[in-house]
């Protein structure tokens, strides 16, 4: 469970989040908002990538300020641009990367990499250089690398923004089938189908919080959509 209490965050003298207090325990939570609304910063609070200027964020009781490392082991994070998330030159090496920093034995790493290749339909791409993958394949690899470390929660920051329509659908399906609770930041309304709860951010404030139909209607009105 994520607990965000009276959080404010500033970059220099620019306030990006203010007065945010919320508890997240649902299986599928979405976060929407315009560019610059603070939603990406909110996502980064959840695994301690960003520590709030004031207020506290805890994950299952672990404070991101003090236990950042433990929190990050618990909360996987998938970024918008897979190119910037894949850090090793080949598919198998990238899958192994996160595991190497979990203190696992070499045999166990190899076994989990094989498992991840199989589970994610990446088996044929084992030794493929990452830069030769398609956009959709890259995002699948990025997600697979995160899942290989068996996080308890997964946070997605606009996971489909860079993708074409077909890849978007594939990634939506991957997210829908996840067992872990997820928090997804997205502009993509299709992706949010079947979610339990949607938060709406505007200018650094949490302005709506409720079931998807209510929140999304509010969001569309806010955006001036007709």
Partner 1 sequence: MLSLYRPGDSVLHRAPAGPKLVVLLVTCLTVFLVDELWFTAVCGTVVLVLWRIALIPYRELGRQLRGLWVVALLLAVFQVWANGWHEAAMTVLRLLALLLLASLVTMTSRTSHIVDALESAARPLALVGMRPGRIAFLIGLTLRFIPLIREKAEEIRAAQRARGVERRPLALLLPLLLKTLTMADAISEALDARGFEST
Q: List alpha helices for the chain, DSSP H.
A: 39-45, 68-74, 91-100, 106-119, 135-148, 165-176, 212-222
Q: Which structure tokens are listed for 48?
A: 């301690």
Residue 217 contacts by C-beta under 8 Å, 6 or more apart in sequence?
none
- CA–CA separation, 102 and 92 (whole Å): 16
Please pick, from the candidates 27, 66, 101, 166, the single residue that binds partner 1 as defined by CB under 8 A. Answer: 101
Nearest approach in angstroms of CB 80 to partner 1 is 9
CB atoms inside a 10 Å sphere around CB 174? 17
Burial class (CB in 10 A: 0-12, 13-18, 19+), 127: exposed
For position 85 contacting partner 1 by CB under 8 A, the verdict is: yes
Is 17 a binder of partner 1 (CB under 8 A)? no
Binding to partner 1 by residue 98, rule CB under 8 A? yes
Q: How far apart are CA 221 and CA 226, in angstroms?
A: 8
Place of tokens 């990499």: 113
- The answer to whether 79 contacts partner 1 (rule: CB under 8 A) is yes
Total of chain residues touching partner 1, rule CB under 8 A: 27
CB 16 to partner 1: min, Å: 15
By rule CB under 8 A, what string of x and - marks binding of each residue 34-63 to partner 1?
-------------x-x--------------
Taking the least distance from each CB to partner 1, the nearer of 16 and 200 is: 16
Residues that bind partner 1 (CB under 8 A): 47, 49, 69, 72-73, 76-77, 79, 81, 83-89, 93, 97-98, 101-102, 129-131, 145-146, 149
């Amino acid at each position: 469970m994520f607990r965000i209490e009276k959080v404010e965050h500033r970059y220099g003298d620019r306030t990006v989040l203010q007065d945010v207090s919320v508890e997240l325990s649902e299986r599928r939570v979405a976060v929407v908002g315009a560019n610059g609304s603070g939603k990406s910063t909110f996502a980064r609070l959840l695994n301690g990538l960003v520590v709030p200027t004031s207020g506290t964020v805890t994950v299952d009781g672990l404070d991101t300020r003090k236990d950042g490392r433990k929190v990050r082991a618990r909360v996987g994070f998938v970024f918008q641009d897979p190119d910037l998330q894949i850090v090793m030159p080949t598919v198998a090496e990238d899958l192994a990367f996160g595991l190497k920093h979990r203190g696992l034995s070499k045999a166990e790493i190899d076994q989990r990499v094989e498992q991840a290749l199989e589970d994610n339909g990446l088996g044929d791409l084992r030794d493929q250089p990452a830069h030769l993958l398609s956009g959709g394949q890259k995002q699948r690899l990025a997600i697979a690398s995160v899942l290989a470390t068996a996080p308890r929660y997964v946070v997605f920051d606009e996971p489909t923004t860079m993708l074409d329509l077909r890849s978007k659908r594939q990634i939506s399906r991957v997210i829908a089938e996840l067992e872990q609770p997820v928090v997804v930041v997205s502009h993509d309304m299709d992706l949010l189908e079947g979610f339990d709860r949607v938060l709406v951010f505007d200018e650094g404030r949490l302005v709506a919080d409720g079931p998807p139909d209510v929140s999304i209607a509010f969001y569309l009105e806010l955006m001036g959509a007709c």
